[in-house]
Structure 1
Amino acid sequence: MLRSFDLVLIGVMTAMAVVTYSIKHRADEKLTEVRRLETEIKLERDTIDLLRADWALLTQPNRLQPLSKVYDAELSLVPTDPTQLAMPKELPMLKSQLPQPETTIEDIIAGKSGEVAAALKGVEAAKATPAPKIPLPLPRGWSPDAISTGSVNR
């Protein structure tokens, strides 16, 4: 006959089997989540690589040179002069070193300053004049995106 000790051991063994199964089940769920995250990371990395390749294709000088010639009238691009580059000591002072204004915000709101009144008149004059029309590019026979690089098949 079964003794009570045998029944206790059977109960402990059953409990351990349930605990082992639950731990295994949680580990499998975590492994599935890790694989899903790895797949998402790989997809994001592939997307970044694709966008970098697209950026490299779009910024090729042999593509940008004809575009700059086509839209030269609208863009008015000129090369940068060496005198346009500034040294760090030539940059303006820090914001903390700027002198404080003589007028306060209350004076500006009240319009006590003559400069503020003149600026407000200029704003009103600018509002009264109609806005200039934005020039639209004319349709062209040549498509800038039709450059064949040999690396992309469409």
Structure 2
Amino acid sequence: MRLIHLLVIGALVFAAAYVYRIKMESTERTERVLRLRAQIREERDAIAVLRAEWAKLDSPLRLQGLAERHLPLKPLNANQYDSLKNLPDRPPSLVKPGDPDPIGSMLETIEARVDAPVTTGSIPRQEGSR
């Protein structure tokens, strides 16, 4: 009978210690969650401040004032435009009609190289491969 009582008391002590450990872990996790929420709130506040500063810096009136102050730009006049007949002639075409597209052939060679295995400086070159 005493053995059963001792076993029950031991089981109760073990259960109490286990419950206490679970309580402490949950308390620590709750504190961590609260700290993380506070950090998130601080970061959101910082983001809001940065967005407000960006809106102020990106204001069109401010940018126009800076451009007028620092850039030597002059207003555009209507007489600055020229007619289309005064445009220079189109440069001659370097590719004859019927010839393959030079840019397309360059892209094809690049695609062929991409499919091939690439050797970098960190990988030793294998014997017989170039």
TM-score tier, shorter chain, comes to 0.5 to 0.7
Distance in 1 (CA, whole Å) between partners of 2:107 and 2:74 is 35
Distance 2:27 2:75 in 1: 62
Please state if 1:21 is matched with 2:31: no
Aligned residues: 83
Q: Tell me what 2:63 maps to.
A: 64
Partners of 1:14 and 1:60 in 2: CA distance: 69
Query: 2:108 & 2:49 partners in 1: Cα distance?
Result: 46
Aligned-residue Cα RMSD (Å) equals: 2.9
Question: What's the CA shift for 1:35?
Answer: 1.1
Q: Name the counterpart of 1:97.
A: 107
Which residue identity lines up with residue 23 of structure 1 in the other structure? I
Which of structure 1's runs of 4+ aligned residues deviate more than 4 A? 76-79
Change in 2 beyond 3 A, CA 1:68/1:35: same
Greater length-normalized contact order (CA 8 Å, ≥ 6 residues apart): 1
Q: Whole-Å Cα distance in 1 between the matches of residues 21 and 35 of structure 2?
A: 21
Structure 2: gaps spanning 5 or more residues: 77-102, 111-130
TM-score for the superposition, normalised by structure 1: 0.47
Q: Map Cα deviations across residues 16-40 of structure 1 (whole Å, 9 max, x no partner).
A: 0000001100111111111111111
TM-score normalised by L of structure 2: 0.55
Q: 1:121-140 counterparts in 2 under 5 A?
A: none
**CA-CA distance at 1:98 after TM superposition:** 7.4
Residues 118-142 of structure 1 deviation map (CA, whole Å, 9 limit, x = unaligned): xxxxxxxxxxxxxxxxxxxxxxxxx
Q: Which amino acid aligns with 2:34?
A: R
List alignment gaps of at least 5 residues for structure 1. 80-92, 101-154
Q: Kindly provide the amino acid, as one letter, of the partner of residue 97 in structure 1.
A: L
Letter in 1 for 2:37: E
Matches within 5 A, 1:1-154: 3-73=2-72, 97=107
| Percent identity of paired positions between Structure 1 and Structure 2 | 34
- Structure of higher CA gyration radius: 2
Say if 1:77 and 1:57 are closer, same or farther in 2 by CA, change over 3 A: farther
Residue 9 of structure 1 and its aligned partner are, at CA, apart by: 0.6
Q: Residue 68 and residue 4 in structure 1: after superposition, are their counterparts in 2 closer, same or farther (change >3 A)?
A: same
